[in-house]
Chain A
């Protein structure tokens, strides 16, 4: 990664963190009421962040999603589990998440907000509902090596690769007026922890 791209990535991250602080009140998700617990931690590659920043694209987590940034690891976004009924080791059910992601294209001034994140365990992809729509869009796919285990009631999924879904790429490009997003684009990695209601 070049020094310029690193700087842009840092700038983008700073924008992300700054905007997150002010965006929560306006766009906070519906409070979770389900007794299920856990989180999805998306660790975003610095390479993805810098490439996005060079195109003027930033991704802003919306509360209760929680961002952190490390210059080496990149941006980490934690989406809290808000509900669901899933058996991840048996590959069935769904897990729902609170929070959202705002995708913003600083070059075109266009944006799209995704909320109501849902992980379809059978299909193996995350969908989310964009603002102005009620139809979920397949957005992100766990890819690469998936490792699943149980620790008591808690089910864990670690995926070495987290990628942009083909439909998500098409949708994002159209909404943001860009050609940046592509099917299978490497975003980072995923660590999902889910404890069903009990």
Chain B
């Protein structure tokens, strides 16, 4: 156990002015790059890492964590305001955030996103600070078989988002899985569907597909519907009702269970490497919708929808550090970047970290908590700025967003190849939306596809292809049963609701 003196010394370090300033700088940068479509916090962290070499470890890592946390808050801004999520995990936020913004309440929508994000993040940070070591040991017990079962469970929950047409939902999911199989197969490294393009060996670039389908296709749709007149990207009533400019405490408090559930989902998925914040956001959103008394109001600007998505995707970030700090295992690309920052400072995350670098670790914890508060304050100022920005004429906003997406993706994927892929998927996304196929289902299937496939292959090897061998994996059995229950329950409830509606 770490000595209490060390804990105090670490927390004191976090409050040193230089360290606080670096965290502040990180959060500001993170919120900015998160809000600008196409760049994102991961890219910013990758560029910043070599520069942190000259810093001490705590300001360096505090800065990077600030970028990561700020990015998640910033990512919700374009999703809510112009329906173009800069990062795929913000796509869930757009589902209810944008409709609310369109009703003339952009300030309220972005504020709710900010509060939910900070709430979820703080929750997972507290879990990290208090019980990371035992939690990491539990997470270790979640092997490939359990992760496979967990993914089936996640799919069964997210299926609640399919919408009106089951067959269209299945087609969208199948297309997403098909696109996820491009590249080397995870078992024997045989290239699949690459048509001689070596750029596709590692699969379709995630950033290209996500930004193409989510952001560019929306921009295309908006550009197609313009009629030459000058109007703002979002209409904000001049004399706005002050009630619509803020989130009242009652409204925030009414979302407490939604946010708590989102934070728990985010923390669990974050502690398990490799599943990610996009799945967490959608799982939380889907379960909020399913358990709501009024599921019809989701997708039309329900505050609970925003709260569910943002609390979950932000909770993933803190929880990602649980396997990272205790075991040296990164749970996401962002966490992998933080590991490389640790390593260039000569610090090896893993079992010895708390003993050898206790002061640094608690300094980092202090910095993370401070980053959440800073996020809150910077966010309050920042969202006013962004709302001013989107008051500019639509033609200006969307053409600059298009430019930024192209620049961002070409940076993230290393050239114009990624941009071409992005534009192709923008077309695919546009057509899918036009014909009523869910782009969101496609993206989830595409994101979870590779992990799903490799978990399946690992499971088959470990079970020797024998389903009966599952008896040795009780957690997996429970999860699979839950998946069946969820499917039945969701199906049953949906059917019951339909029946209720008919007489009315």
Please say whether chains A and B are actual partners in one complex.
Answer: no
Interface residues of B (CB under 8 A from A): none
